[in-house]
Amino acid sequence: MKYIDEFRDGELAKNIVANILREAAGDKSYSFMEFCGGHTHAISRYGIADLLPANVRMVHGPGCPVCVLPIGRVDQAIRLALERNVIVCTYADTLRVPASDNLSLMRAKARGGDVRMIYSPQDALKIAREHPQREVVFFAIGFETTTPPTALIIKQAQAEGVTNFSVLCNHVLTPAAITHILQSPEVRQYGTVPLDGFIGPAHVSVVIGSQPYEHFAHEYRKPVVIAGFEPLDVLQAILMLIRQINDGRAEVENEFTRAVTREGNLKAQAMVSEVLELRRSFEWRGLGEVPYSALKIRPAYAQFDAEARYGIVYQPVADNKACECGAILRGVKKPQDCKVFGTVCTPENPLGSCMVSSEGACAAHYSYGRFKDVEVVSR
Amino acid sequence: MSGEVKKGYVRGLDIKNGRVDMSHGSGGRAMAQLIEELFAAAFDNEYLRQGNDGALLPLAAGRLVMATDAHVVSPLFFPGGDIGCLSVHGTINDVAVMGAKPLYLSASFILEEGFPLADLQRIVQSMAAAAREAGVPVVTGDTKVVEQGKADGVFISTTGVGVVTDGLDLSGANVLPGDAILLSGSIGDHGMAIMSRRENLSFDVPIESDTAALHGLIEAMLESGADIRCLRDPTRGGLATTLNEIARQSEVGLMINEEAIPVKPVVAAACEFLGLDPLYVANEGKLIAICNAADAGKLLEVMRAHPLAAGAAIIGSAHADPHHFVQMKTAFGGRRNVDWLAGEQLPRIC
């Protein structure tokens, strides 16, 4: 595959790894957070952690869209399907996120709810057009990457005068989450989460650009390297972070120049701000309430806002006590530190959200890396 | 005066414009007509012609192998095949990977009221052609009709029987550390051919399903004299899931080499686009063979000489592992687990 294989080249990887080994040779240790689940997945799938020296450690961040979705928000969608006889459309991984009463959207479907997996919001609008006698709700989740298509579909529904379609908007914002992590007591006070720099998001940055991260570099003195989701991108970003630390720099650098500019996609940004506005606060799984960290539909488009249309009020629901997703999403714990990891909680029966998506830290480690845990045990 | 209606007065099935209705499953004359003019006409063979409730079949020496498979694929027609030939190939392959010579098939149809007779005929004729080409007749069958909305066009369930010679024992439980893993060709073709025609996801790529009957290939492999432990066709769940089944059954670990696994560029690209891993995408005309490593070269040669396995490759080996993990050396230089498929990747693929 052109433009893909070049970034998975094992020979080139050896060169970058050799540079990392040489430049991180001292007794200094390096801890970098990859914010995005896409990077977590690449690190696990290609075995990148194995290629790094022991003093370069990767900490998984919260950038996995379904992982940070709190139970209360999934409950809202499930209730729409089961109690309001609404057709609920959403992206695949969202179907499996565990919610209250041992339900998920997939299990709600088995109980008679009309829940449909879609690949694009366009599919949801199409379903609404095809079923004029039914109400259709698009359960919209994700970071800035998936936000513009949601804004677009709302505008399109308005232009076409579709009256049986609305959006349950749960879009969240990356910079707010990074700020929250940097201000957390684990990072600032206790030092339990050593963070020397960030691998910045790939697809999110295509939309928002590299500029929003400049604040972190300057204000918190943390280097940020924006990187693509291919394994060579990740290795190169790690090398660039090591170089910034060694040089005493804290800058925003862009490894993903083939897709990311400083300004980002201005057209997409304009459309999002036309249709959506900031929420004062939003609960994230793991991070709790984070101020100004999510978007809702502007009053001008209220007829397409499922929250307004169905009078939905958010009810927070506590996570399962045994589940460590919260600490894992903040980088405080690793999946292996959780007592239920791989025992009660598996990809088939996820207890916590990090075990659901292949971008989740637990699912990535369980699916790709757990041979490392048992080898240590059996030695 | 005889009770027979005069030939000229019976109106034939309106295959061109007609549709399945509830009377076609009622057991009455409409059902008899459907069976006679559509099913029996296509499948015709001496056993079916017996016309009894069951087929009376001669018994060959050896042990019987029996396998059954339900087919609910959507869409019914896809590039490279349709539910008809798929339902023949799938069951023949399940019998053949046991090392058996497939002999007979049964077929039962669940039809949805309103299904066009023209589509049904196309499916039945494709099925009959596949059975004839494979030399495995459909000797008995059944038809039921359900109300509109209670099924999706047509579901086909087939059962196959075959005979395996005494002394030949192929099983997923036979694999020993050191054995070689062979794959008969590129993976993911069937699943991606189906995906490319899904209602909500059509994209224009020339991917054809690999649906095929593998008993000819298997016969040649068995004749080679290679010490084969196990044969499997990696259908739903793909190569990864089938290897995990074998690892668990045989209580061994399996190590595969990413670079050795054939994937067509167009399939790899389509998977990349949809966020799928070809290791988990269904195949309908491929097999995994695990054999004594000493015979791997010989077996590979025989496979490559057959048109259905020209792209065969040795993709890995078995080793002792108390955890029965399937692992992969990645092309990138790392190593990772290849886990069971979690959840549902592609619903209604076969």
* CB atoms near residue B79 (< 10 Å): 17
| Cα distance between residue A172 and residue B140, in whole Å | 59
Tell whether B170 is covered by a domain. no
pLDDT reading at A376 higher than 60? no
- pLDDT given at position B216: 98
pLDDT (average), residues A197-205: 95
- pLDDT given at position A379: 32
Q: Exposed, middle or buried: residue B344 (CB in 10 Å: 0-12, 13-18, 19+)?
A: middle
Tell whether B344 is covered by a domain. no
- Contact map slice: A 207-246 vs B, CB within 8 A: 231
Which residues of chain B make contact with A4, given a CB cutoff of 8 A?
Answer: 269, 272
State which residue of chain B sits closest to A359, comparing Cα positions.
B275
**Which of A1, A106, A231 lies at the smallest CB-CB distance from B269?**
A1
Report the gap between the CA of B269 and the closest CA in chain A (Å): 6
Task: State the amino acid at position A100 in one-letter form.
Answer: S
List the structure tokens of B306.
């057959």
CB contact, 8 Å: A6 with chain B? no
Closest CA to B203 of B159, B133, B267: B267
pLDDT (average), residues B170-181: 98
Whether residue B295 is found in the same domain as residue B186: yes
Report the gap between the CA of A372 and the closest CA in chain B (Å): 9
Phi, psi of B67 (to 5 degrees): -145, 150
Whether residue B160 is found in the same domain as residue B187: no
| Cα distance between residue A279 and residue A152, in whole Å | 19
pLDDT (average), residues B70-99: 97
**Which of B274, B327, B332 lies at the smallest CB-CB distance from A46?**
B332
| B325–A46 CB contact, under 8 Å | no
Tell whether B86 is covered by a domain. yes
Torsion of CA A19, A23, A24, A26, to 10 degrees: 140
pLDDT (average), residues A123-150: 97
- Among B205, B332, B336, B344, the strongest candidate for a mutation testing the A interface, having the largest count of A CBs within 10 A, is B332
pLDDT reading at B4 higher than 80? no
pLDDT reading at B105 higher than 80? yes
State the ipTM, two decimals. 0.80
Whether residue B81 is found in the same domain as residue B227: no
| B336–A347 CB contact, under 8 Å | no
- pLDDT given at position B333: 81
B interface toward A at CB cutoff 8 Å? Answer: 200-201, 265, 268-269, 272, 274, 322-323, 325, 327, 330-337, 339-340, 342-343
Whether residue B141 is found in the same domain as residue B217: no
CB contact, 8 Å: A118 with chain B? yes
CB contact, 8 Å: A4 with chain B? yes
pLDDT reading at B1 higher than 70? no
What CATH code is carried by the domain that includes residue B139? 3.30.1330.10
Of B107, B131, B164, which residue constitutes the final position of a domain?
B164
State which residue of chain B sits closest to A48, comparing Cα positions.
B334
**Which of A48, A118, A370 lies at the smallest CB-CB distance from B334?**
A48
Of B164, B190, B214, which residue constitutes the final position of a domain?
B164
Tell whether B269 is covered by a domain. yes
Tell whether B342 is covered by a domain. no
Q: What is the mean pLDDT of chain B?
A: 93
- Among A43, A45, A89, A94, the strongest candidate for a mutation testing the B interface, having the largest count of B CBs within 10 A, is A45
Which residues of chain B make contact with A348, given a CB cutoff of 8 A?
Answer: 340, 342-343
Which residue has better confidence, B43 or B7?
B43
Whether residue B89 is found in the same domain as residue B215: no
Whether cis (ω within 30° of 0) applies to the bond prior to B75 is yes
Tell whether B48 is covered by a domain. yes
| Cα distance between residue A289 and residue A282, in whole Å | 5
| Cα distance between residue B323 and residue B325, in whole Å | 5
| B339–A119 CB contact, under 8 Å | no
Whether residue B298 is found in the same domain as residue B234: yes
Range of the domain at B121: 11-164
Tell whether B6 is covered by a domain. no
CB contact, 8 Å: A376 with chain B? no
| A367–B327 CB contact, under 8 Å | no
| A47–B335 CB contact, under 8 Å | yes
Whether residue B321 is found in the same domain as residue B185: yes
Whether residue B193 is found in the same domain as residue B283: yes
| Cα distance between residue B328 and residue B167, in whole Å | 34
- Which residues are CB-contacts of B270 (< 8 A; sequence separation ≥ 6)? B192, B195, B196, B203, B205, B207, B276
* Percentage of residues in chain A having pLDDT higher than 70: 99
Give the count of Cβ contacts less than 8 A between chain A and B.
70
Whether residue B188 is found in the same domain as residue B244: yes
8 Å CB contact between A167 and A305:
yes
Report the gap between the CA of B202 and the closest CA in chain A (Å): 11
Q: Assign A371 a pLDDT band (cuts: 50, 70, 90).
A: confident
Number of domains in chain B: 2
Q: Assign B7 a pLDDT band (cuts: 50, 70, 90).
A: low
pLDDT (average), residues A182-190: 83
Whether residue B126 is found in the same domain as residue B225: no
Structural domains of chain A ordered from first start: 5-65+181-254 (3.40.50.11750), 71-173+264-309 (3.40.50.11740), 325-378 (no CATH)
Whether residue B184 is found in the same domain as residue B332: yes
Report the gap between the CA of A365 and the closest CA in chain B (Å): 9
| A119–B334 CB contact, under 8 Å | no
Per-residue burial over A46-82, b = 16 or more CB atoms within 10 Å of its CB, e = otherwise: bbbeebbeeebebbbbbbbbbbbbbbbbbbbbbbbbb
Whether residue B186 is found in the same domain as residue B157: no
8 Å CB contact between B172 and B250:
yes
Tell whether B95 is covered by a domain. yes
**Which range in A184-193, B11-20, B101-110 is most confidently predicted, on average pLDDT?**
B101-110
Q: Assign A378 a pLDDT band (cuts: 50, 70, 90).
A: very low
| Cα distance between residue B46 and residue B58, in whole Å | 12
| B333–A348 CB contact, under 8 Å | no
Closest CA to B312 of B322, B293, B297: B297
Of B164, B193, B221, which residue constitutes the final position of a domain?
B164
State which residue of chain A sits closest to B321, comparing Cα positions.
A375
CB contact, 8 Å: A8 with chain B? yes
Which residues of chain A make contact with B343, given a CB cutoff of 8 A?
Answer: 96, 106, 347-348
Give the tens place of pLDDT for each residue, B308-326: 999 999 999 999 999 999 9
**Which of A1, A45, A119 lies at the smallest CB-CB distance from B265?**
A1
pLDDT reading at B347 higher than 70? no
CB contact, 8 Å: A366 with chain B? yes
| B343–A119 CB contact, under 8 Å | no
pLDDT (average), residues B279-293: 97
| A10–B339 CB contact, under 8 Å | no
Q: Assign B195 a pLDDT band (cuts: 50, 70, 90).
A: confident
| B337–A14 CB contact, under 8 Å | no
- pLDDT given at position A377: 39
**Total-model pTM:** 0.87
Identify each DSSP E strand in A13-64 by its residue range: 30-36, 56-63
| B333–A96 CB contact, under 8 Å | no
- pLDDT given at position A90: 96
CB contact, 8 Å: A374 with chain B? yes
- pLDDT given at position A253: 96
- pLDDT given at position A194: 85
Report the gap between the CA of B227 and the closest CA in chain A (Å): 30
What CATH code is carried by the domain that includes residue B273? 3.90.650.10
